[in-house]
């Protein structure tokens, strides 16, 4: 069973819970918060928490959800060893892994339908880094 770190702010909480329920039989989620949608929280706090966990091993993967996905992505990409990709389609989720070796997917709960989010996550988790010519590019990040 895969182990995936997941976190959200208040705007992403509902989609985060749907993700956990949808994939719950196949994935062990380590939920790093937030724990409700009623209390406004600062998304960087949750992105930093998840990035610390993901950066501990090159095998770790994370999912971050906020209203647009952009704030989580911007915050996550400040961390060494993190390559966070804001995904909105199956194609860009696949390419983020194939070409960029992304280790965190970020999603915008206010901008993506849950079915597309599920497909993006599934694609992200099941796509391996292509390596080859992309290795030198990723090393320059």
Q: Single out the catalytic residue among 10, 48, 79, 99.
A: 99
Active site residue 10: no
**Is 12 within 8 Å of 109 (Cβ atoms)?**
yes
DSSP per residue, the chain: -EEEEEEE-TTTHHHHHHHHHHHTTTEEEEE-----SSS---HHHHHHHHHHHHTT-TT--EEEEESSSHHHHHHHTTSTT--EEE--SHHHHHHHHHTT---EEEEETTTS-HHHHHHHHHHHHH-----THHHHHHHT-
Catalytic sites, residue numbers = 99
């Amino acid at each position: 069973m895969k182990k995936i770190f997941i976190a959200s702010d208040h705007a992403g909480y509902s989609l985060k819970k749907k993700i956990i329920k949808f994939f719950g039989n196949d994935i062990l989620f380590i939920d790093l918060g937030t724990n409700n949608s009623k209390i406004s929280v600062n998304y960087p706090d949750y992105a930093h928490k998840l990035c610390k966990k993901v950066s501990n091993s090159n095998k770790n993967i994370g999912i971050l959800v906020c209203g647009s996905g952009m704030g989580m992505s911007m915050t996550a990409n400040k961390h060494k060893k993190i390559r966070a990709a804001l995904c909105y389609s199956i194609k860009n989720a696949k390419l983020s892994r194939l070409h960029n070796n992304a280790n965190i997917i970020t999603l915008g709960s206010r901008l993506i339908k849950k079915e597309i989010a599920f497909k993006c996550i599934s694609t992200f988790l099941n796509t391996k880094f292509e390596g080859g010519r992309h290795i030198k590019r990723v090393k320059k990040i």
